[in-house]
Each structure stands twice: as C-alpha cells, then as structure tokens.
Chains A and B, each alone.
Chain A
Amino acid sequence: KDARLPFYEINGLIQQAPYTGRVFDGDSNETIPGVTVNIKGTQNGTVTEIDGSFEIDAQPGETLIIRAMGYTTQEVVLTEETNLDIFLATDSRQLDEVVVVGYGEQKRINLTGAVSTIGANEMRSRPITTIGEALQGQMPGVTVRNTSAQPGQRGNEIRIRGIGTLGDANPLVVIDGVPGGNLNILNPDDVESISVLKDAASSAIYGVRGANGVILVTTKRGKKGDSPTVSYSGYMGMQTPTAVPELLGSPEYMELLNESQLNVGRNPTYTQGDINIARSGEDPNYFANTNWMNEILRSSAPQQNHNVSINGGGENMSYYLSYGNLQEGGLVTGDNYKAERNNVRLRVNTQVIDKLDIDVNLGYVDRSYSGSSFGIGAASGPIYAANQILPLVPVRFTTGGWGYIGGQSNPVAVVTDGGTNDFSSQEFTGNVSARLELFDGFSVRGQYGLISSNSKRNIFTKTVDYFSPDDGSLIYQTNPINRIDSRDYVSTYQTFIATAEYDKTFNDIHDIKILAGASQEEFIGDNFTASRTHLVSQEVGHINLGTENQLNTGNASQNALQSLFGRVNYGLNNKYLAEVNFRYDGSSRFSPDVRWNMFTSASVGWIFSEESFFDNLRNVIESGKIRASYGTQGNDRVGSDFAYLSTYGPVNNTFPIGGNYTIGYRETGVPNSLLTWETMEKMNIGLDFQTLNGRLGIIADYYINNTRDILLVVPLPDVLGTGYPPQNAGMVRNEGWELGVSWRDQIREFRYGVSFNLSDVRNEVVSLGGVPPTFGDQVRLLGHPIDAFYGLVADRIAQPSDFDFNEETGVYTPNFPTIPGDPVQPGDIIYRDLDGDGEISLDTDRTVIGSPIPRYTYGLQLEAGWRGFDISLFIQGVGKANGLINGPGRHALINEGSMPQHIHLDRWTPENPNASYPRLTYQQSYNQRLSTFWLEDASYLRLKNLQIGYTLPSNLLSRLRINSMRVYASGDNLLTRTNFFYAYDPETPVSSGGFYPQVKTFILGVNFNLK
C-alpha cells in the first residue's frame, strides 16, 4: 500500500479519513466563511472557517452537500482526492439581497421603485479606469457612452432613462451618502456596490437634483470579527486603438489633388514628374511620403494597475485600508500623453459605546495627466493635425531638423518639442458619520462630508524652429513666442446631514419604517491663472522664468443647498407595500422668492406570490411582485450660479487704449429673477419575477418621464444685445421600457450564468415654450428627439445621364433640382426636393434625418466556471443611433487642410460611377452639407470584455500562506461590429475628427489574498 494515501483498507472496510477543502464564491473567487458542509444522508456536518476552509471526515463515494445563503446548493461526490476547492454559484434569487437606496438600505423584495445594482464582481478584472466604464451595458436604462480614451481623462457620458433636459443631463452621484463626488477618479477596486435610482420612488428623496437619476456608490468596508486579509490585485497590459484613419501616401494625394483641382477648373498643382519624384522617394525633403497618422499614433500603449488592501475587524470594529496605483501610457507619439493615479482609502467602523456606531471613511487621490501644449480635442491637437498635413512633408529633413513645407506645423515636432500641458490634482474626501440607537427601532444619525480638491495645470508652450534643409535659414516657427501658463483650481464642498429613523414591526403584520432628515451643503470654487512669455530658457517651465507680459486672471463660484426630507415605508403582511417620499429643497441658485420647493413621490407594491391563491404555484414561481410609482423631481443645474442676479464682470484685453493692456467691465447677461428648477414627473410600472428555483429572474419596467419648465435658453430677438437669460419653458418626454433577465445554475461542478438586459427610450421634445426652433445641423424640434440631425435627403450621386450636355460649350445642365449657386456636375449629390418646388432650398428641403440618442441599448453577460477555471464574456451594444463625422475627419480636399484617406479612392469619376464618395472638388464643400449621405449608423455590437481566469488549487497555495489566488487574462473592446465610418469608433461624438481614439485593452492579471 502506498502510505501516502489517506485511505487504507483493513479487512475490506474503508476507513474514514479527513477531507479538507475550501469554499469559494464562484464569481469573485473569494473564500466564504460560515458555509455548512454536510454529508448527504447523515447528521455529520461542519461549518467553514473565516478563511473558507473546512475539514470533515468522510469516505469516497459519499456526497457532500454545501449550502450557503445567497448561493445555489452544491453536491460533491467524494473521490480519493481529499483536498477540495468548491466554487458556489451565486443564487439569482435576490429575495434577501439588500440594496442601497437613498439615505438607507432596503431589501430588494420590499422595493417599490426601479433600482438597478451591480457589485464588485461585475467590475473585477477589467481594465477599466472609471466607474462609468464599468456601468456600460450592465443595467437596463443606463446608457453610457465612452467618448474619449485619453489617459487620465476618459470621458463617459452617463444617461439614465434618456435625456430629460436640454441642459445638464448628468445624474447625481452620491458616494457613501455624500452627494456630488467625482466618479471618474474613484478607484473601481474600492467599490463594493453601485445602485442606480431610476424612477421617482427611489430618487425623489434627492429632490431638486434627482431628475436625471441618481448613482449611489458604496465603498468597501471590513467585516467585524474577520482576521486581517491582505489582498492584492493587479494587471499589466496594452491598449491599441479600435479605429484609425488610413491616410493616402504622397503619390495618391498628388493625383487626387490634381483631379480635384481639374474638377473645379483650377490648374493641377503637380506634374507627372513631381508625382514620380514622390513615388521614387528621391527628394525626401520636399517630396517625402509620410503617413502622419502612423507617425502621430503609436501602435500600442501600456496600462497597469495595482491595488493592495488590508481589511478585517475586531469585536467592535472593522477596517479597510487600500492603496491603488493606475498608470496609463499614451497612444500619441512623444512622451507627453500619459496619466497616473494613486488612490488611498481608509474606512474604519467602530462601535464606541454600546449603541453608538462611528463610520470614518477617508479617501485621497493624487492624480496627474499630461499632454503636449497642442492639447487634444474635437478639432484641434496632434491627431486632428495629422488629418490635415500633407504627406509630402517629412517628419524630419535630411539635415535632421524638423520637417516643414507649409500650411501648418509639423504635429510630431509640436508634440515632441512644442511644450507640455501638465495637470495634477490632489483630492481629499472625508466622510464621517455617527449613528446612535436611542431605543428599540429608533436611531439618529449625523454625517459630515468634505470634498476638497486642489489642482494645478501648467501649460508650457515652447517655440519649435524649422530650418531650411537647403541653406539652414529659419523658415517657420510654431509658437514664435514661448509662454508659460500656470493655473490653480481650488474647490471645497461641505455637507452636513442629520437623519432620524424608526423601524418597527407591529403585531407581526405591520412593517413601518420612517425616515426624516435635514441637510445643508455648499460648494466654493476659486481658480487663478497667471502667464508670462519670453522664458529665458526652454528647459525649465515655471512662471518665475518668464520675462514679459505678466498677466493673470481668475474666477470663483459658489452655491448652496438646504433641504428637509423624509420617507415612510409601510408593509402589510409582507404582501402589500407602500412608500411615500418627500424633499423640501432651497437652492441658492434661485431668487429668494422662488427658492424653495417640495418634491414628492408615492409608490406601491404587491407581492402577489404571497397570496394564498398562489400557494400551488410557489414551487415554480417563488416570488412575483408588481410595483408602481409616481413622483416629481427637480434639476437646479441652470448653468450659472447667479442667473437671477444682474452682474457686471470683467472683459480682458479688449482694445489697448493708450497702447496698454486694458480691462473693461460689462453686464454679464440679462437676469431672470423668476428662474426656477425644471420639474420632472416620473411614472413607472414594474414587475419582478423569480422562478425555477431561483435560477431565472426577470425584471421589467415601463416608464414615462415628463420634464416640464425646462430651463431653456430661449433664443430671443438679438436686439436684446446680450446673452439670453435661461427661462422655464419647454417640455421633454422620455418613454421607455427595460427588461433584465438572469439565469444562473450549477450542474455539479459546472456553474454558469447568463444575464441579459435590453432597454429602449423614445425621446421627444414636446414643447419649446412657444419659441420657434433655430435650425442647424442638429435641432430641437417639436415631436423629435433632442438634438436630432437635420439635413437634406440625399438621393444618389448624379451621373452624366442626369444632365443635359451642351457639346459646344461643354456645359452640363442638371435636369434635377439643385441649390442655386452650387456648380453641380456629374459626380455631385442629388438631393430630394421635399417640397416639390423644383429647387433645393435649405429652408424648405431639410428634415429630421436621424438622432444621436442611442436606442435599444443592450448587454449580455455569459459566465461559466468549472472547478478553478472561469470564463466570462460580456457583449454590449446599441441597436439604433446616428453619428456624424465631418470636416477633415471625413472629407478630402474641401480645403487645404483635409487630406484624402483610403476611402476617397472610391470617389466618383466617369470611370467609377458607382462610387461611395462624390467627385473631389478642391476647396468646395457644397457636397458636404449635412445630408443623409453623410449620416452614420452609430449602432454597434461589441465584445466588451472577455476574460479567462484560473483559481489556483488551495493545496498549492497553503504553503505560501496564500488564501486564494486567481490569474486571468482579460480584454476590453476586443471586437466591434458596426457600420460606422471606419476611421472612428461608433461612440465618437459628432465632430470633425481629432478625437483621441477609443482603445482595446488586453491585460494579464493576478489577484490573491493573504490571511
């Protein structure tokens, strides 16, 4: 017999031996304490320790039953392997799940409002840098658009149930009970859960700021009685752009330029000889062949993230301390476009005396990002410039100096030597609360929150010289005068919140919960900017080193809010639920006469599965609930803090009277003392359903949100002579539905889950306060979505057969309607004459042709695990949306700064009548007016994340004192299916190009815990 085996037969009897093992959460791969482990058919059993471990005497062939709250029960048939790692699938039956709601918590089963949640699991092991990215595709009704992937400045636009305002549509963010935090700088690794409050019932308690929905973020905390756990999670990986413009080389550029000039009766610039020189490369100074997009963009950039935390607790306290470091490299050439963030968080919960709980939660962020003085933006910066510069320009002349031919600066030179734009910021958040239980069911709580930030920006604009390769003379300078610009931004936000709560069940059938509270908060910001020119050296950029033009300016702002709020929940027999919320808000943004207002909501729920007539069905359908809510909320973000006051402010550098820099003063706008908030009225009906032993869960909602008194800057006749005051006018309606379905199951050791969400919102401007709309490429028109695209309807590209041709003069006369003045020729776009008057007019022949507001947003998450292996796949997309790229991002040769791209080879010529691009017309842009021809389909389906992980067996790790360890490979944005313009990501905002590209990120990472 092999002595190493724990089993040995004595007289044919198999002796029992100790089985050891650990139980893990199949999603997070964290160990689970307190899990009961029983041998099937016996009374023998045990409970897992704090580190998830257990030991039980059993013999092969017996079956272990592992049960834990919130997980599906698993059975394991024992073999001769005595060291077991058991992964439990979470139970989608969320009956006992506790959800964070405004100023408190609520059991999901008792919710009467529309609340979506995600936990830390949904964010783990993804190369996300902001919470916004984590939310994308995860919840029905929450639409996230990632507009830029620039390091340190990832922009995401979060919209909850559409866009209910023509102003600021951002949801209110509440971090650990304190409103107004910055989601973009919070370390996703510190987040325990996120609740999104979507309807009036759940968000009315946030009153004047809840109209756009509320995002509640709860950070992690330690657990009382847990022994200290040290956790590390980290990854390293690479980003690559999802889409990059493909510019043509010099010979093709020259040919197309010639063609475009011939097309408009201009002389072609280049001779065949010139083109041959460019092709042969024999004149690398004046006929180079540079692919500027490749020069300005790197093929990949590094990204890494490390988080270390320690958490645990004693008898009366718990603690969580974490440090996170995130480093992002930039895709732009040179060393300037990169970012770093350091997050520290400490949370300590103590029970000081018997009934007093104190929660201290401190966060500190030190972050920085940099760029070149060139900046980056929708129509500026190096990427935009790469779209505009001739391929004939060399990056460097053969003499080694920066290349320059004409027209514009060399973008590689500027990002390399043209100076820097460095931003750094320190943000401190302090959040202290104390809760005192006065008597049974009655407690009071006080909370103080502070968010203080201190940021600095240094823009050092350096001179770049270009010297002639022929004689070394200075031929051009970018930023001929160097300059240093130092900016300082300071802001402080403070809030004090006091609440009292009473929670009691009477006679076992009446559940009553009452909350009342008061709060006040203020924000003060102060900015200062100073600049100087003529720095004596370009080596060091500090304000102290400039010698001329010492200028400075600044601005400051403040606002405050005071509120009373309350909530009453009543439940009868765990069947009938009712909830009432109110909030009475006063905002400093409005005149004292119209400063205060009340917002209320009411909601009811009926858990019909608790009714007696449901008794027979309960085996199949464990729970079912119908809920309905109605209420009002406000939006006080009017753009200006003092729109109700008449103020005078400085205007700098207007007219140098006396030959000096002058400052003038003028009225800043027309006040509107009647200005008050927008009111959103929200109706919601929802259904929650749990069936098939908790494996299937369904949540469905239907809602109508009407925003009234929209703060609208109503354009007025300009005889007014100043900016238009915001007025309360207009109405926008959002009507939509949401569906979330989840399925989770475990078949022996194979666990898997599917969750899917789909939502739609129809946005419609119902009223513009009687003011006629102003027409542009995007309009706000009655009966159409906000900022709908408005343009001509393109029919097709005109062919010679669409014209009468006069052989004598060689003139083509169109026999279709055109815009007077447009020199229309074969190869130009034919528009539809919508009003049939025989002429195309921008007045009468434009119509709504699309909308940028995404519809049919969806997410699909597939997860599976087997023993230590796990795989998950997350698909996300938009079913319907339009986008638009214009200017040099889309067009060729319409001006001297729009370089042809590969797609422009398929332009119309007599030989290529079925072209995808009209004929090229030098310095003409009449074909490029907004029409359906240029409107892009911005719908997409994206493999948002794919990850494969492996949790190492615990017997390997125990020697290293490692409690659990998972290694994984993960990728974000790996595949995208879209019909959008190839050069940009479908999430790119309407722009003329130049956006920092959206990235795919591939990472390798590891998580482990030490106990």
Chain B
Amino acid sequence: CSEDYLDRVPLDAIVDETFWENEDQLILAVNAIYGNIKAKNTVDFENIGDNTLWPSTTAYLQIGSGNFNHDLATLNNEWRNMYAGIRQCNNFLENYEQAFVAVPERREILAAEVRVIRAYLYSYLSELFGDVPLVTTVLDIDELYGGRDPKEQVVEFVLTELQEAADILPAEIPSGNDLGRIRKGAALGLKARVALYNGFYDVAEVASQEVMNLGLYELYSNGDPSTSYNDLFTYSGRQARGNNRETMIARLHLEEINRHNLSREIQVPDQNARFNPTKSLVDSYLCIDGLPIDRSPLYSEESYEAIFENRDPRMSQTILAPGSPWGGRFDGNPDNDDPSVYTAPKFRSDRRGSVTVTGYYFTKYVEPSTVHQVTQDVNDIHVLRYAEVLLTYAEAKLELGSLTQSDLDISINLLRERVGMRPMVISELQANQLDLREEIRRERRVELALEGQRYFDIKRWRQGDLLAEDTKGVRRDLVLAQDEVANVQVDSDGYVVALTNRRFEDPKNYLWPVPLVQLERNPVLGQNPGW
C-alpha cells in the first residue's frame, strides 16, 4: 500500500505552516478578529440595568432581576465568546512577527489593533466575572486547568496593553479602506473607561485628557440642537457617512449584507416593544432649568404630553415623545389614524402597533426606515464615543477632587451645548443644594442611555439596590386608552408596575457567577462570593 494515497490535505483550508507569511494574511487574520467586537449585544446589556425593560423572559431580564442561577446559558456564552476572541488575538500576536511585511510599522499597527481588541474583551470579562484566567498565549489542551487571576491583575494588564497600543497606533480618524479600524484615540478612550470603572481616576483623567488633546474628535452635530443627538444614532450619524467625528469605536454594518435588528426591536410594530424605557430613566432627565423634576417648577405630570415638556432636550431625542414620527404603526390613540406619528402609548397586544409595558418607547437608535422589516438595520452600534470620554474626564476629576467649572465647560457642557441644554454650573448646583456627584452621574446616565453602560455604572457606584426596585412606568391615569390598562398592576401612587420580584444581594449580585459548565470542567476556577 502506498502511503501517498492516504496523504491528503484539506482542499478548502490552509494548513498552518503556510499561514503567517505575508501582510495580506495578517490583514485577513485581523479582519476575523474585528468580528469579536460586540454588535447589538452591546445594547442588549442595557436590559440588565434600570433604563429599559425587555418584558418577556429573556436572560437579560433574569439577570437584571436577580432571579437566575449559574446555569444560565447567557453567562456561559459571554465567557466562551470572550475567550474565543482572546485566542484569536493571542494566536495573531504569537505569530505575526513571522510574516514578511515591507514596512514593519504596518505590521506593528495591526498587532496594536489586535491588542486593543483583546483588552476590550478582557474589560468585559473582568467587569462581569471579576477574577478571570488571564490568558495571553495560545493554550494547548493540557493548559486549560489553571485558576483565576485577580481582577486587579487583569485590569493592570488591560491598561498597560491599551497604553502600549496607543503608543503605536496612529492618531487619526480612520477613513476610506481603514474605516472602522481602531486608532490611537480608541485605545486611549478605552483605557479611560477601564480606569474609571476600576477607580483609577488619575489614570482615567490622564487618558481622557490625552484623547481630548489629540484634537481629532468633536461632538457630532447637524447644526440643529433639537435633532443632533438623535441623528447620531440613525443613518445620518453612521461613520460611513464621513461626518461623524465623535464615534471612536463602532461595530459597523453593511446594507443588505451585514445587518442587525435593533430599530425594529425598539419599536416593533404589532408586538411588544423589546426596549421599554422605565420611569426611573424618564424621571432622571432634568428640566430645562437644570433642576430635577422633583425640584423644578417647570415639571408637570398633568398629562402624558406634559411629562415631555420643558425637559432636557435629550429626553425627547431618547424617549419617544408624542407627536414624533415612529415606525410602530397604530398607537394607543384610537383617533390617531396616521400610523407614522406617535401620540399615545399602546398597552393592548392586538398586533396593530407597538405595545409598551411601561407607557414609554425609545426613539434613540431607531432608524425609522428599517422598523417595518426584520433585520434590515445597518446602524452603527456605538461602542465608544467622544462624549463618554468627556464624561469620564469630568467624573475622574470629580473623584480626584479637582473638578472645576472650566473642566465642566470643556466636557459636560459641550454635551449640553450640542442639544441646547442649560449648562451645568457648579455654583448653581450649590445654590440649589444639588449634589455634584449625583448630577455628574445623572449626566452620564442621560447621555449614554441605551448604549450598554448603565449596568456597569450601577455596579461600580455600588447602587445595586436600584436593581432590586420594581420596574415602573407611566402613571396609569395618564394613559389615554384607560380600558387597556384597567387590569395593569400599579403602585400606591398609581404608577404602572411592569416588573416586580427583583432581587439584588450584596455582594453576590455585583458579579456574575462563574458559569456552571466552566466550573464543572475546571473546579479550580472557584466561585464568586455569594454564589
């Protein structure tokens, strides 16, 4: 028998000895690695916090309400997906130097992009699970049984990696064939976020300052304060359009080929909207006079429409206000025969229009042209944008005790200026006996609503109790179609209770449990406190 007959090679794949030879191969490997940046899943994390409610029994609702166990598949999926990305990164970083690249800097830039993605994946892992195995090499199957490394060590690794990558990456807003690539600002912005999350306020301050000093980024505006913020999250603000200098990392999508379903999920016509803004979020918007609703004379709850009046302009660019265009078809107003305009919340599941369980809908992130179709949305999913860097700068300064009015003027007040909101003035806050820290946190919540940050903010601010509160909606008597809410549960003040039985145990719920299957396969991992 001839051995040759049995020596076959794959016909549609490359054996690894023939890979890692040239720049084209490096680019192909990096292309695959970019696929590990979270897409709509970034926004789905919002469901775990208190800004929005996905009303059917999803894993996110279970996690957010504390009623879940370590066998929940989503926990394991996140763990597995993150480590899958990390392996790809490690594999690249172990091998890329073998490739011949005419300009070696180009090779190093690719490697730096990969290091940022790896750091990004570790930032999720460490935030969700705390201590995790810090894997920086391509593991063989007998190297899988180590324990977890302390979160501090992982964070330190992430911060170092991001700085080293930032030192290599060019300072530019990538465009043309590089559109979507990670550049210096993205590495530094991510570093600022991770530092802030972990209380390294000095590091966060420096990193965000460095981003600001690059002078590359600016807040997106179309010139109209009443739509600029909302526009950023529609097709107008897509990076591919070339006029968005704010977004630093985005998961890009491509017409007809690479799409998601977010706009439809937010205002799905004829079903329950998947994203229902909570009373808690709606109430957090200041009135236009800069005062919270419980302090401002401008606030009124005498009608549904009144709630939206005299508020931070970001509110009606985030929460769907009566009179706004929408894609949810027929609303809760039987006299409204124009399905393209929203007038009143719909509670009735008769499949003719989008149903809310809180009385509110989102308009942020909705590209109305795609709502009526399943998975046709090509909106960018914003992973990191300049606004967050500014917020991080302000918060870091505050926590360091060095926040000044001029700091606010180059950060938060730029955000307010974009939408025509009254600036934040420290002396005014003091005069009104408002807490500066609370207001800075409010600013972050309002600006970044529906961008997947809220859950992590609640945790780092140790405000877990918020997640044990009932999820509420509009006051029932403000609903136009009273027959649709007759049976809806309300609290003692008449507000709709959309979800009850939520739990949050300290310290247990400040971390996800190590997924059951991982623990079964490697008991050395150990479990988080309280689980």
Contact = CB atoms under 8 A, between A and B. Distances in A.
Interface of A: 257, 261-262, 265-271, 274, 286, 390, 392, 405-407, 475-477, 480-481, 518, 520, 522, 524, 526, 533, 548-549, 551, 554-562, 564, 586-588, 592, 595, 641-642, 645-651, 653-668, 670, 672, 715-722, 725, 771-775, 820-821, 823, 841-843, 895-896, 923-926
Contacts of A664: 28-35
A772 B521 contact: yes
Interface string B107-144: 00000000000000000000000000101000111001
B31 A265 contact: no
Contact of B3 (A261, A266, A592): A592
A659 B256 CA distance: 12
A657 B139 contact: no
A717 B6 contact: no
Contacts of B5: 520, 522, 560, 562
Please name the 10 residue pairs, one residue from A and one from B, whose CB atoms are nearest each other, closest first: A406-B270, A721-B87, A664-B32, A821-B67, A654-B35, A406-B351, A664-B31, A556-B11, A655-B34, A665-B28
Contacts of A672: 141
B8 A588 contact: yes
Contacts of A265: 487-489
Given A560-B8, A656-B252, A657-B180, A717 B84 contact: no
B302 to A, nearest CB: 23
Contact of B257 (A558, A661, A715, A774): A661
Contact of B350 (A269, A520, A666, A823): A269
A659 B240 contact: yes
Nearest to A390: B351
Contacts of A651: 32, 35
Given A271-B483, A645-B15, A587 B6 contact: yes
A555 B12 CA distance: 5
A277 to B, nearest CB: 12
A720 B90 CA distance: 11
Nearest to B89: A721
A105 B2 CA distance: 30
A268 B31 contact: no
B29 A665 contact: yes
Given A549-B256, A667-B88, A647 B179 contact: no
A663 B19 CA distance: 15
Interface in B45-98: 55-57, 62, 65, 67-69, 71, 76, 79-80, 83-88, 90-91
Contact of A717 (B15, B348, B518): B518
Contact of A526 (B11, B57, B251, B254): B11
B410 interface: no
Interface in B351-402: 351-352, 357, 372-373, 376
Nearest to B520: A772
B229 interface: no
Nearest to B252: A656
Nearest to B253: A656
Contact of A923 (B3, B31, B57): B57
Nearest to A559: B8
Contacts of B100: none
B7 interface: yes
Nearest to B347: A267
Contacts of B252: 655-657, 659
15 contacts: A265-B489, A270-B350, A406-B270, A480-B373, A520-B5, A548-B256, A564-B1, A592-B3, A650-B28, A658-B178, A718-B521, A721-B86, A775-B516, A821-B68, A896-B271
B13 interface: yes
Contact of A592 (B7, B84, B348): B7
A662 B91 contact: no
B501 A821 contact: yes
B19 A653 contact: no
A468 to B, nearest CB: 9
A896 B56 CA distance: 10
Given A665-B32, A722-B84, A658 B521 contact: no
A655 B1 contact: no
Contacts of A926: 57
B31 A649 contact: no
B31 A657 contact: yes
A373 to B, nearest CB: 15
B376 A266 contact: no
A406 B328 CA distance: 11
A526 B69 CA distance: 46
Contact of B501 (A475, A823, A843): A823
B517 A407 contact: no
A266 B487 contact: yes
Contacts of B223: none
B16 interface: yes
Nearest to A649: B13
Contacts of A717: 144-145, 518, 521-522, 525
Contact of B133 (A642, A646, A719): A719
B181 interface: yes
Interface centre among A559, A587, A588, A720 (most CB of B within 10 A): A720
Interface in B470-497: 483-489
A561 B257 CA distance: 41
A257 B350 CA distance: 10
B196 interface: no
A719 B139 contact: yes
B452 interface: no
B349 interface: yes
Contacts of A716: 141, 144, 521
B334 interface: no
Contacts of A524: 11
B484 A267 contact: yes
Contacts of A481: 256
B176 interface: yes
A267 B487 contact: yes
Contacts of B84: 718, 721-722
A471 to B, nearest CB: 9
A657 B488 contact: no
Given A557-B12, A588-B8, A717-B522, A406 B269 contact: yes
Given A269-B348, A664-B29, A665-B25, 9 more contacts: A266-B357, A266-B488, A267-B347, A392-B351, A642-B8, A647-B15, A648-B13, A672-B141, A821-B503
